[in-house]
Amino acid sequence: QLQLVESGGGLVQPGGSLTLSCAASGIPFSIYDMNWYRQAPGKQRELVAAITSGGRTNYADSAKGRFTISRDNAKKTMYLQMNSLKAEDTAVYYCSAALGRRIWGQGTLVTVSS
């Protein structure tokens, strides 16, 4: 029943880069606003980046200048390019789609450690 599937997480050293992907199915992807959230142990889930159906983007202050959100409607996929990663970026990253109702992916773990 999963309609959003994240991939690309893993272990990366501080200062390194990762690109996360979110593949959508079963929804008209192009008309959905899309978001990346993350949740670290013991912390609340927070919005990292957002991209509307029209392509407008917004970022959390912690991500601004380091992360880039994008989408490819032909591939029904959203991406999060993460550069200059810090230990504080360690979290489970979740893909979310919103059009009135909200759909969540299962999450992918990003661990930033030396």
At residue 2, the pLDDT reads: 65
CB 49 within 8 A of CB 58: yes
pLDDT greater than 90 at residue 54: yes
* 49 band by pLDDT with thresholds 50, 70 and 90: very high
> Is it the case that residue 87 has pLDDT exceeding 90?
yes
Phi, psi of 23, rounded to the nearest 5 degrees? -95, 130
CA angle 74, 78, 79 (to 5 degrees): 125
Match 């893909």 to its residue by tokens: 95
